[in-house]
Amino acid sequence: MKSKSVGILTKPKFPEAKTTLQGVVTWLRDRSIVVLLDTTSATLLGEQDGVQKTQLAGKADVLLVLGGDGTMLNAARLAGERSIPILGVNMGGLGFLTEVRLDNLYPSLDRVFANDFIIDERLMLKTHVHRHGETVARGVVLNDVVISKGTLARMIELKVAIQGQFVTNLRGDGLIIGTPTGSTAYSLSAGGPIINPAVQSLILTPICPHTLTHRPLIVPGNDEIEVTLTSKADGAMVTLDGQVGIAMTQGDTAVIQASDHRTRLIRFPESHYYDVLREKLKWGDG
């Protein structure tokens, strides 16, 4: 990769964050590669010229993420329309999205700059929340959009339509609309299936449904999903990738569909999705 600049996002809470960041920055600069640090990373190194996270993807040719899956989700949203490649370095427990282990960081960077990698394109969702005909919130996610009850609220009631067709009135704690990438996140905990990210589909997973016949539903990746909050539920929320929360009131509708943009993850040819699943979920060795 003839990368002129690398933007770095760090999760500073990891014990190795500072020393790893110092090492990576030195390694890249020694190779005449421009390093752009988000303000958190710059502060960690005592540098003054940090870039706002929201501007990082606009200025960098590739994003290097030192953290866990949460930091990767943040990077995916930041990469947004530019869809620049993202390389995730795992600083915590094994992640589904972070490709590189810390002890393999520099050989992996060498391979990236030698073009010895493949790009794994992941479906993203774009969401609009409508209130009285106005768009009150919007966002793009890699994992999921979750519509859920507040902490003290009773069950909420949601009207679900797909491609303009009424599907169901769902009563329960909420609904997860996820991508295949998000199928191993909250949806999995709520009883949803695992979907290989190569499958272009969306998944609707009810959270603690009142009617036990409500089951996860997999639909084509280009379908438009409309979810309207029909109950009067104080505290109901739309949550994007578990990181951005938007309050919902009765009558609000969340419209969810595949984004035109994809998250582009840097992956190495010998690493396989099923290896990650087996290790992460502690399946048998075969």
pLDDT digits (tens, 9 = 90+) for 165-211: 999 999 999 999 999 999 999 999 999 999 999 999 999 999 999 99
- Tell me how far CA of residue 286 lies from CA of 130, 275, 283, in angstroms: 49, 11, 9
- Tell me how far CA of residue 48 lies from CA of 3, 32, 137, in angstroms: 23, 20, 33
Instruction: Give the residues of the chain that fall short of pLDDT 50.
Output: none
- Judge whether 146 and 239 are in contact, CB under 8 Å: yes
Predicted local distance difference test score (pLDDT) of residue 282: 86
- Judge whether 197 and 273 are in contact, CB under 8 Å: yes
Domain spans in the chain, listed from the N-terminal domain onward:
5-117+268-280, 124-261
The verdict on domain 124-261 having CATH code 3.30.465.10 is no
Cite the active site residues: 69
The Cα angle at residue 65 between residues 99 and 281, in degrees rounded to 5:
35
- Burial per residue of 145-184, b for 16 or more beta-carbon CB atoms within 10 angstroms, e otherwise: bbbbbeeebebbbbbbbbeeeebbebbbbbbbbbbbbbbb
Fold of 5-117+268-280: Rossmann fold (3.40.50)
Bridge-partner residues for 122, per DSSP?
A: 263
